[in-house]
Amino acid sequence: MILILTPDAHPDSPDYQQLLAHLANMPGISTRVHTEAGIEQTLTEIYLIGNTMALPLEDMQSLPCVERVVRVSEEYRVLGRHKGDDRPTHFDYNGVRFGQDTLHVFAGLCAVDTPEHVEMMMQALRDHGQVCTRMGAYKPRTSPYAFQGHGKACLPYVFDLAGKYGIKVIAMEITHESHVDEIREALNQTGSPTGVMLQIGTRNTQNFELLKIVGRQQDFPVLIKRGFGITLDESLNAAEYLASEGNRKVVFGLRGMKTNMADPHRNFVDFAHVPVVKRLTRMPVCIDPSHSVGARTCSPDGILDIMHVTAQGIIAGANMVLVDFHPVPGKALVDGPQALLLRELPQFLEDIRIAREAYLQRAALAGRYRQDQEK
Ligand code: PEP
Ligand code: MN
């Protein structure tokens, strides 16, 4: 059960103290307080853990400072959508809003290689009105002999260039807790010219100790990718690990499932799960068409498979697109064969705009039919 307190309920106020004292006296019930400092107000939620089925809603509703009570009916306590639950489905980070009704494109380098390529990428993004990108510094690779990313050495120039071109959020995978400190340090060193969304890659979706550590910090939002060989439920529970530790600025990423049934694609595209994740949880949903398809193959209509699956995700309501681009894919150190070209960026963005418009029209149509049925 979640008690949602009145906005700005102050921990020092007598009412708040009285509430905590009351809860502390309830046998078999423990509590966990979560506060979320927003731009306008601070939101406080108290999670009651234990046999809450026995607690009458009305009694809890009448406690001091309590604005609303939500009975947790689903498994994902913090991130799930519960009955009568109208808590927000968005968060703000570095001036950008991420929600179940927004859409952002994170086009960029799979792996940072040279400052020149980073700058060409960022300049192209700025020229096309983009404020987000992806830039890998820490790369988990199948072979220990493959390029592992430049690590912390590249962070200062990546952040400086992001600032120069007005990039506000960079999605960057981390594979170890020390990477979070390195990113924080490099941001401090460069005067925080940009922001970072930490990415948990598909190989680490169930690295629970990493999830707990990343969940305990609230400086950076987190993009968690679906595990490539586990169920959706298992991946959503992994996301819940982040939130249960305190960080609920979480985006859920679909990137395809590993199975040879996907051939000739690199992974089996799972973007039909976009609306499923939006229904089960309050997380914005990201799609990664590059790691799903894995190649620049093109269908007879002249549209690349990567663009086709992107449109499929967007028309189903996706909120974020993580996609590999490279100024010179032949020189990319990781995933060159799936990178889109800078000259394809305007086509990619326009294609997304068309699919998004179609999605909005579909949602409006569904809304009109629902209204008719309710009459
Ligand atoms: C990536 O986005 O660079 C990546 C490695 O993705 P995934 O974890 O989905 O394989
Ligand atoms: Mn990649």
The CATH number of whichever domain residue 6 belongs to comes to: 3.30.70
196 and 328 together in one domain: yes
Whether 287 is in a domain gets the answer yes
Which pLDDT belongs to residue 84? 81
Report whether residue 173 contacts ligand 1, using a CB cutoff of 6 Å. Answer: yes
Residues 118 and 63 in one domain: no
98 is a domain residue: yes
CATH number where 105 lies: 3.20.20.70
Give nearest CA residue, ligand 1 atom 4: 201
CA 201 / ligand 1 centre spacing (Å): 5
Token digits for 183?
A: 């990113």
Q: Is 226 in the pocket of ligand 1 (CB under 6 A)?
A: no
Q: Are residues 180 and 31 in the same domain?
A: no
359 falls within a domain: yes
Domain that holds residue 234: 92-367
pLDDT score at 86: 81
Q: Are residues 55 and 150 in the same domain?
A: no
Q: Quick check: CB of 291 below 6 Å from ligand 1?
A: yes
| Nearest-angstrom CA–CA distance, 79 and 330 | 41
Atom of ligand 1 nearest to the CA of 110: 3
Indicate if 153 and 31 belong to the same structural domain: no
338 lines ligand 1 (CB under 6 A): no
Kindly give the number of the ligand 1 atom that is closest to the alpha carbon of 202: 8
Angle, alpha carbons 350-220-71 (nearest 5°): 95
Q: Which of 41, 71, 101 is the last residue of a domain?
A: 71
Whether residue 175 is found in the same domain as residue 252: yes
Is there a single domain that holds both residue 121 and residue 43?
no
Name the stretches of the chain with pLDDT < 70: 73-74
Q: Whose CA is nearest to atom 3 of ligand 1?
A: 110
* Residue having the nearest C-alpha atom to atom 6 of ligand 1: 201
Q: Is residue 86 part of a domain?
A: no
Q: Is 324 in the pocket of ligand 1 (CB under 6 A)?
A: no
266 with 348, same domain? Answer: yes
204, 149, 196: which is closest to 176 by C-alpha? 204
pLDDT at 72: 82
Two tokens, residue 248: 């609920």
Count of structural domains, the chain: 2
Whether 255 lines ligand 1, by a CB cut-off of 6 Å, is yes
Question: Residue 225 Cα, ligand 1 centroid: separation in angstroms?
Answer: 8
Same domain, 153 and 276: yes
Does residue 84 form part of some domain? no
Return the bridge partners of 91, or none. 98
Residues 311 and 230 in one domain: yes
Pair (100, 225) in one structural domain: yes
Which residue's C-alpha comes closest to atom 8 of ligand 1?
A: 201
For residues 167 and 60, what is the distance between their CA atoms, to the nearest angstrom? Answer: 45
What's the pLDDT at 348? 98
103 with 210, same domain?
yes
Residue 374 counted as domain residue: no
Report the C-alpha gap between 179 and 22 in whole angstroms.
42
The answer to the question of residue 79 being in a domain is: no
pLDDT digits (tens, 9 = 90+) for 49-93: 888 888 888 999 999 999 999 888 668 989 999 888 888 899 999
8-state DSSP, 340? B
Neighbours of ion ligand 2 (CB under 5 A): 110, 335
d(CA 92, CA 350): 25
